[in-house]
Amino acid sequence: MTINIKNTLPILTPRLIIDLPSMDMLDEIQAAKVEIWPELKKWMSWSTPDQKAIEPLKEYFQSASDPNLIHGFPLIGRCRETNQYVISTGLHPVEGKENEFSTGYWVAKNMQGKGLATEATNAVLRYAFDIIGVDKMHICYYEGNLGSSRVIEKLGFTATQTLENNHKSNFDGSMLDEHLFEMHGPEVLPALSVTFG
């Protein structure tokens, strides 16, 4: 599968512009990450102590300089009206699965509770199926993350498996169940006006 990712972006929704991150966003997104760090430690598998600094975020952004389907790529959502940072997301190939990708996200503290995670993820899923042509999308959440549970339900994912005590929380060390979901096409998604490129 060969596709020039940069030519297919940005993704536009009614409230968001979703695109590859650039270094001029680094300080704003780092500040948002630090502000919400305790919550990220609860729910994000990557939120180990070394990830709080700006350097890992910079390295993550650098992966956007050559976005590809072999390694996946990050995406950043900004408010169309204000250009303010809203959400970090992306697409990542599932190891050992041909043409299957996973996604996830975290939302800036002041942007939570407005349906923006649902809107952004809906758009990214449509992009994955309609533009990239993936066969299957995966997503998961850890027990207790009610916000992500609601987003996944609204988007129409199908539950596939619960892995008991599969994730050690970076917040308090407790073992959490991991709930796995998949989607085979955009037909189940709620209606959304979205354009690409």
Nearest to 83 by CA among 35, 169, 16, 34: 16
18: its two tokens: 């979703």
User: Architecture of domain 10-196 in CATH?
Assistant: 3-Layer(aba) Sandwich (3.40)
Nearest CA among 153, 195, 135, 197 for reference residue 12: 195
Angle at 5 between CA 65 and CA 156, to 5 degrees: 120
User: What's the Cα-to-Cα distance from 124 to each of 12, 49, 176, 197, rounded to whole Å?
Assistant: 10, 28, 27, 13
Q: Are 124 and 18 in contact (CB under 8 A)?
A: yes
Task: Parse the chain into domains and list their residue ranges.
Answer: 10-196
Amino acid 185: pLDDT: 98
How far apart, in Å, are the Cα atoms of 159 and each of 137, 139, 177? 12, 10, 13
pTM of the predicted model, to two decimals?
0.95
Spell out the alpha helix ranges (H) of the chain: 26-35, 37-43, 54-62, 116-126, 146-155
pLDDT tens for each residue of 81-124: 999 999 999 999 999 999 999 999 999 999 999 999 999 999 99
Residue 170's pLDDT is what?
94
- How many distinct helices (H) and strands (E) make up the chain? 5, 10
pLDDT at position 157 is 99
